[in-house]
Amino acid sequence: MSYAAKNIDVKDRLIFALDVPTRAQALEWMDRLGDAVSFYKIGMELLTSGEYFQVLQDLADRGKKIFVDLKFFDVPATVASAVKGLTRYPVYFCTIHGNDGMMRAAAEVKGNIRVLAVTALTSLDQHDLDDLGFQCDPQQLVLSRAKAALAAGCDGVVSSGLEVAALRREVDHALITVCPGIRPVGNSDDQKRTLDVAEAFAAGADYIVVGRPIRQAPDPRAAALAMQATIAQALAAAG
């Protein structure tokens, strides 16, 4: 698998979704997880606390990698301004929606940030895409947006693990694949297009994003460590 050839520290491949409403809770999670997690995603829930950039700095001070997941969507000039503003901070990944103009504008000003294009949210299934007017299935939409993202100068995509194998077959292997919605078997929440940890890496994922399965575990740190062990085993099996 191509993902094994990328120079990514094994412990960085698990990204914890720090979906909490306050800085105090974010700091509690950093303390609780300790060295079990080295990469954190901070999204819109924390943004409305007014403490977003304090948490970003807290993560940086602890030596954590940071994924700013705000899914910018606006006219290209505005998206470019937002991404350029983020270059003032120690951000590793940021997300924008997969529109050609927005992707090109963001790529031109991204600096050292890796820009990820959102393809199709993992909470959407075929029925949802039909309602939105897309005349294709989720896999076709993801492939189309992934190819456009690379052509526009973006670094990768956020996609369901269900589409990663097709991405590896049909898109340049330089593409970074970040897969949210990773769930244990028997998932019953709002994520509809999911895989488990081992399946995602067997398919070719570079990173996975995990939130509730860690946050809701009886022992969150142990759950994160178990996922780290599963990732290491999946990578070793892939050779």
Q: Find the CATH number of the domain harbouring 8.
A: 3.20.20.70
- Mean pLDDT throughout 37-57? 95
pTM: 0.88
6 labelled catalytic: no
Is 175 one of the annotated binding-site residues? no
Asked if residue 25 has pLDDT above 80, the reply is yes
> What pLDDT digit, counting tens, does each position of 166-179 carry?
899 999 889 999 99
Q: Label residue 181 left, alpha or beta by phi (over 0 means left) and psi (-120 to 50 means alpha).
A: left
Number of domains observed in the structure of the chain: 1
Using an 8 Å Cβ cutoff, are 117 and 103 in contact? yes
Give the mean pLDDT of 193-209.
85
Q: What stretches of the chain show up as alpha helix (H) in DSSP?
A: 23-33, 44-47, 52-61, 76-86, 100-109, 126-132, 138-152, 164-170, 197-203, 212-215, 220-238
Total residue length of the chain: 239
Tens digits of per-residue pLDDT, 73-92?
A: 999 999 999 999 999 999 99
Residue 78 assigned ligand-binding role? yes
Asked if residue 126 has pLDDT above 80, the reply is no
177 is annotated as contributing to ligand binding: no
Residue 195: give the domain boundaries. Answer: 2-238
Catalytic residue selected from 11, 71, 84, 147: 71
pLDDT beyond 70 at 194 = no
Unique residue bearing structure tokens 């974010």: 26
Average pLDDT, the chain: 86
93 is in an annotated binding site: no
Q: How far apart are CA 112 and CA 109, in angstroms?
A: 9
Q: For position 129, what pLDDT does the model report? A: 44
Q: What is the share, in percent, of the chain residues with pLDDT greater than 90?
A: 63
Specify the pLDDT at position 217: 94
DSSP state of 113: P
